[in-house]
Amino acid sequence: MIQTNLTTILQTIHASAVKAGRNPSSIQLVAVSKRVPVESIQLAVESGQLCFGENYFQEASEKIPQVSGDLSWHFIGHLQSNKVKEVVTLFDIIETVDRIKIARLIDSHAQSQRKNIQILLQVNVGGEQQTSGVSPEQTEALIREINKETQLQVIGLMTLPPYFSDPEKSRPFFKKLRLLATELAKKQLFADNKNVVLSMGMSGDYPIAIEEGATLVRVGTALFGERIY
Residues near ligand PLP, by CB under 6 A = 32, 34, 55, 76, 160, 202-204, 218-222
Q: Which residue is nearest to ligand PLP (CB)?
A: 220
DSSP conformational letter for 35: T
Which of residues 75 and 150 has its CB atom nearest to ligand PLP in the complex? 75
Which of residues 138 and 221 has its CB atom nearest to ligand PLP in the complex? 221
- How far, in Å, CA of 61 to CA of 225, rounded? 22
- How far, in Å, CA of 166 to CA of 146, rounded? 36
Which of residues 77 and 136 has its CB atom nearest to ligand PLP in the complex? 77
Residue 118's nearest CA partner among 141, 95, 100 is 95
Which of residues 142 and 222 has its CB atom nearest to ligand PLP in the complex? 222
CB of 129 to ligand PLP, least distance (A): 17
Instruction: Specify the DSSP element, H or E, that contains 38.
Output: helix 38-46
CB of 12 to ligand PLP, least distance (A): 13
CB of 195 to ligand PLP, least distance (A): 21
CA quadruple 211, 173, 142, 30: dihedral sign: negative
Q: Which residues pair with 97 in a beta bridge?
A: 121
Which amino acid is located at 224 in the chain? F
CB of 51 to ligand PLP, least distance (A): 13
